[in-house]
Chain A
Amino acid sequence: MLPLSGERPTSNGVVCERIDSSEIVRGSSTLKRGFAHMLKNGVVMDVTTVEQAQIAEEAGAVSVMVLDKLPSEVRKAGGVARTASIRIIEEIMDSVTIPVMAKCRIGHVSEALVLQQTDVDMIDESEVLTPADELRHIWKWDFTTPFVNGARSLGEALRRVEEGAAMIRTKGEPGTGNVAEAITHIKKVNDDLRLIKAIYDSGDNQELVRMAREFKVSYDIVEQTAKIGRLPVVNFAAGGIATPADAAYLMSLGCDGIFVGSGIFNADDAKERARAIVLATTFWNESDKVKEAQKMIDERQSMIGLDVKTLELRMQDRGGSA
């Protein structure tokens, strides 16, 4: 019972083979999007070491994302940010039972192929790394491994789904400890969804065609999305989440789950904070539990945030117009 809007059932990533006496299919949209559905109401945590990955798993994370540097460190270091060391990804895959994700550069097909060959569970084509292709993203239908992509608006999200993304994360501004951009973008996506739903319900096909042109996607995917009134894939919030209350607020805005980047392992109380953010994500609707979670952390140990207006590098803009 998954929405399969925009699906390309005969793409290269779909593999049919025979094992013993059984015909099996791998890489179908049901399997890729279904995997993302299993992560719902959970927290995916950015990690750089085996130790951090184990802390994340013990805290109740549904998955870990392996990076070479946390987004805030990428911001400080400058230069070109690339996919993480394969050796570290493999060590982490061997030490936790939860799914392991890794990032590749936008448009960098070979980095993605390396990650698929490494057997990571999901690939994040991410603006945190330096884009390799300013004009186009990876054609993700060619992969058996599912992808997650960032988006700041419904149009951007649907463009990624049309390219084969099995999951979306609404972009915040990574590595800032500032949740404002994430909030802005999820509200923007929600507003756009309400708008196309209203147009669909009114039966105004001409206006729906105009929206498809504005979004730079096919009419079909706009129509199917408008009909169900939500993104056809799972949508997590990401970027700048640093506290349990940040996580709970984003869940209340209708996000399916949370990505936490620098917010946990840049804080001095990583272990407690990891646990607290998981609790607040699960029990976001119970204010006493969110308060208990918030009490587990010490604001004096939160990462120092950055004002998004003064940033020289806005990662969220990367790949956004493509």
Chain B
Amino acid sequence: MTLKVGILAIQGDVQENVLSLVKAATELKIDAEISQVMTSDEISKLDGVVIPGGESTTIGQLSLVNGSLKTLKEKIDSGMPVLGICAGMIMLSNTANDRIVGTTNQPLLNILDIKLERNSFGRQKDSFESDISLESMSIPKYRGVFIRAPAISEVGDGVEILSKFNEKIVAVKKGNVIGTAFHPELTQDTSVQKYFLNLISSLKN
């Protein structure tokens, strides 16, 4: 049975996500069809979706315009696995605060009950790479690439903390929903993508 996995292709580093998921599927020997998706119609046919890194204000506004935001929310609420990366994790949250500007009224999916801060580590010059640990995903050592990354300070009921970096929460999971502040698609290591593909596979069956 083919897994249909889509990358939301409104804005951001879509191609890198396609390549790393294809690589992960090949390594796992999973039959997966990885595609770029933009419309409600395309999203409604998926078994799993990745919301990639990019600018959350842009992704939010444009997915609102073409109706894909609404379909995404319905699909995710009804159990479709989602991996939200950086801007994608911001999209999954219920409120977004910017470190400098304060609360933004950008369109969000309102799925994860988390207290999130945008640009939490500072501006681009403060973007960094560092080793982190994702113990509960059985990934003890992972290279985290943080680019103008958000971070989470508090999580609501049922939201599991997957990883912390110096007291800031940088990866969370709630059932079918995973959010990471770092960019798994920018490294050669496909452990996170493999974990996500396995999650899609287990929830499909």
Residue numbers of A with Cβ under 8 A of B are 1-2, 19-28, 30-31, 34-35, 37-42, 57, 60-63, 93-99, 116, 119-122, 144-146, 278-279, 282-283, 289
Contacts and interface: CB of A to CB of B under 8 A. Distances in A.
A282 B11 CA distance: 7
A272 to B, nearest CB: 14
A26 B13 contact: no
B118 A97 contact: yes
B89 interface: no
A150 B130 CA distance: 32
A25 B58 CA distance: 28
Interface string B105-129: 0000000000000110011111111
A22 B130 contact: yes
Contact of A99 (B19, B62, B124): B124
B93 interface: no
A296 to B, nearest CB: 12
**Which 9 pairs show the lowest CB-CB distances between chains A and B?**
A121-B124, A37-B13, A24-B128, A24-B130, A97-B98, A62-B55, A41-B11, A60-B61, A25-B129
B195 interface: no
B119 A97 contact: yes
A257 to B, nearest CB: 9
B187 A1 contact: yes
Given A1-B16, A21-B166, A144 B125 contact: yes
A1 B129 contact: no
A38 B87 contact: yes
Contact of B12 (A2, A26, A38, A145): A38
Contacts of B100: 93-94, 97
Given A31-B128, A34-B145, A146-B124, A41 B104 contact: no
Nearest to B18: A1
13 contacts: A22-B130, A24-B130, A27-B125, A30-B129, A34-B186, A38-B53, A41-B11, A42-B12, A63-B55, A98-B55, A99-B123, A120-B124, A279-B62
Contacts of B98: 97
Nearest to A121: B124
A41 B124 contact: no
A37 B118 CA distance: 18
B58 A42 contact: yes
Contacts of B125: 26-27, 116, 119, 121, 144-145
A26 B57 contact: no
Contacts of A94: 100-101
Interface string B84-97: 00110000000000
Given A21-B166, A35-B124, A63-B55, A41 B129 contact: no
B35 interface: no
Contacts of A122: 124
A96 B100 CA distance: 9
Interface string B1-43: 0000000011111111001100100000000000000100000
B66 interface: yes
Nearest to A62: B55
B62 A121 contact: no
A21 B9 CA distance: 37
A238 to B, nearest CB: 18
A119 B55 CA distance: 18
A248 B98 CA distance: 31
A15 to B, nearest CB: 9
A42 B61 CA distance: 12
A35 B183 CA distance: 11
Contact of A40 (B54, B130, B166): B54
Given A60-B58, A97-B101, A279-B62, A28 B129 contact: yes
B194 to A, nearest CB: 14
Given A26-B125, A62-B54, A146-B124, A40 B185 contact: no
